[in-house]
């Protein structure tokens, strides 16, 4: 009886494996020990910087939480997503790389796959919402008059519900999470597309709703914003100082959002391309040693956002201080002229 149970358990686990790993230990590293140690150090540095950076962003935002604008609330949500990836996910992969194999079994693999996809999906959908907010704010000025903080919180609830739904769908038997080809990490089972029509439908649904559609909205929004800014820069110059200052702040938030989206997409698109090729290309066409590079690049995405915040804030502060000095010079000139008269 115990032999039959073990055979059944093994066969059920093989359903979650790419076809070329079913006759091997799926959790044994396919990389050299030196490569695993190097990847472990890389992820450790990324994890520490990401945790400190995003923790700092959240801490500083909490000090002025009642003054946060809707767009800033969304960027804080991005920091929460990135911190979640760093704290919940990265320790699993770091320990596994240093151990030269995945050491957390099937339950750990599915948890790690779920957490990575959940926070990654929430990040991308948050950036989609931010890009729409920026598009409406810059290209349709009347939109800004009715958008309030509670609208941003409603949007956050929708984002987290959306991410929860798509990350949990594989547990309903529609898809699954499986080890990466190199063995020391786990992800969505892209290889189901090679096994059945249902697997293809699952992979295509994930690609459309969690990658292609959000990315299309982001690109559309920022292309429209760039075109609008080029045509309206001269118009803003004729407005009074208060409107100009408001425009500068909106453009600062827009630059932050654009850079965040660009960093995220640059980090994740190579991984998405390799995953799609693994799902629909020829079996074994992606070398195992090559597949680890896009994975490590994608895991670095959580580190970029705090750097972007700081760079833009420094530039904004310099511009603001320069503007103040100019105003002070103008006021002193006006005073001298008044006394001369």
The secondary structure element, H or E, covering residue 309 is helix 301-340
* Residue at 127 is within a domain: yes
The pLDDT mean for the chain works out to: 79
Length of the chain: 341
Q: What is the DSSP string of 241-253?
A: HHHHHHHHHHHHH
Backbone φ and ψ of 74, nearest 5°: -65, -40
Query: What gap in Å lies between CA 337 and CA 341, rounded to an integer?
Result: 6
Cα 32 versus chain centre, distance: 29
DSSP character for 281? S
Cβ-Cβ contacts under 8 Å for 29 (sequence gap 6 or more):
36, 96, 97, 100, 101, 102, 182, 183, 184
- Which residue range is the domain that position 92 belongs to? 33-232+239-317
Q: What is the DSSP string of 226-275?
A: HHHHHHHHHHHTTS-HHHHHHHHHHHHHHHHHHHHHHHHHHHHHHHHHHH
Q: For position 211, which CATH number holds?
A: 1.20.1070.10
* Residue at 333 is within a domain: no
* Residue at 331 is within a domain: no
The secondary structure element, H or E, covering residue 16 is none
Q: At 316, list the tokens.
A: 């904004």
* Residue at 325 is within a domain: no
Render pLDDT for 65-75 as a digit per residue (tens, 0 to 9): 888 888 788 88
Q: Decide if 186 contacts 113 (C-beta within 8 A).
A: yes
Cα–Cα distances in Å, from 102 out to 38, 83, 87, 93, 110? Answer: 16, 22, 18, 8, 12
Number of domains in the chain: 1
Query: What gap in Å lies between CA 209 and CA 116, rounded to an integer?
Result: 16
Cβ-Cβ contacts under 8 Å for 19 (sequence gap 6 or more):
191, 194, 195, 283
* Residue at 13 is within a domain: no
Q: Decide if 163 contacts 118 (C-beta within 8 A).
A: yes
* Residue at 278 is within a domain: yes
* Residue at 161 is within a domain: yes
Q: Residue-wise pLDDT tens for the chain (341 aa)?
A: 444 444 444 444 445 455 445 567 889 999 999 999 999 999 999 999 999 999 998 998 888 888 888 878 888 899 999 999 999 889 999 999 999 999 999 999 999 999 999 999 999 999 999 888 888 888 877 666 566 788 889 999 999 999 999 999 999 888 889 898 898 999 998 888 777 788 888 999 999 999 999 999 998 988 888 888 766 655 554 554 555 555 566 667 677 778 888 888 888 889 988 888 888 877 667 788 788 999 999 988 888 877 776 665 555 444 444 443 443 444 443 333 322 33
pTM for this prediction: 0.81
3-state secondary structure 68-119: CCHHHHHHHHHHHHHHHHHHHHHHHHHHHHHHCECCCHHHHHHHHHHHHHHH
Render pLDDT for 223-239 as a digit per residue (tens, 0 to 9): 888 888 766 655 554 55
Note every long-range contact of 21-25, with CB atoms under 8 Å and residues 24 or more positions apart, other chains counting: 21/179, 21/181, 25/101, 25/183
* Residue at 9 is within a domain: no
Q: Would you call 214 exposed, middle or buried from its count of C-beta atoms within 10 A (0-12, 13-18, 19+)?
A: buried
């Amino acid at each position: 009886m115990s032999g039959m149970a073990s055979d059944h358990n093994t066969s059920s686990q093989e359903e979650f494996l790419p076809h070329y790993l079913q006759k091997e230990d799926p959790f044994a590293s396919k990389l050299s020990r030196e490569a695993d140690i190097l990847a472990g150090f890389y992820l450790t540095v990324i994890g520490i910087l990401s945790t400190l950076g995003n923790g700092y962003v959240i801490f500083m935002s909490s000090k002025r939480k009642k003054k946060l604008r809707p767009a800033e609330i969304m960027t804080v949500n991005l920091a929460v997503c990135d911190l979640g990836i760093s704290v919940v996910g990265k320790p699993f992969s770091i320990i596994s790389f240093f151990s030269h194999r995945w050491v957390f079994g099937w339950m750990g693999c599915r948890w790690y796959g779920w957490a990575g996809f959940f926070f990654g999906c929430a990040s991308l959908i948050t950036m989609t919402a931010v890009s729409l907010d920026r598009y409406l704010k810059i290209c349709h000025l009347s939109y800004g008059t009715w958008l309030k903080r509670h609208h941003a919180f409603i949007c956050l609830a929708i984002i987290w519900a959306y991410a929860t739904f798509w990350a949990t769908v594989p547990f309903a038997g529609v898809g699954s999470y499986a080890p990466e080809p190199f063995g020391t990490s786990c992800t969505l089972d892209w290889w189901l597309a090679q096994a059945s029509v249902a697997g293809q439908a699952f992979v295509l649904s994930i690609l459309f709703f969690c990658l292609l559609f959000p990315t299309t909205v982001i690109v559309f929004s920022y292309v429209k914003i760039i075109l609008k800014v080029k045509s309206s820069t001269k118009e803003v110059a004729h407005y009074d100082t208060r409107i100009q200052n408001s425009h500068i702040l909106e453009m600062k938030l827009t630059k932050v959002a654009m850079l965040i989206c660009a960093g995220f997409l640059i980090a994740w698109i190579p991984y998405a391309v390799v995953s799609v090729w693994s799902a629909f290309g020829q079996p074994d066409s992606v070398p195992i040693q090559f597949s680890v590079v896009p994975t490590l690049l994608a895991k670095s995405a959580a580190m970029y956002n705090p750097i972007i915040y700081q760079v833009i804030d420094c530039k904004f502060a310099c511009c603001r201080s320069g503007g103040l000095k100019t105003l002070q010079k103008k006021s002193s000139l006006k005073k001298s002229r008044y006394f001369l008269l």
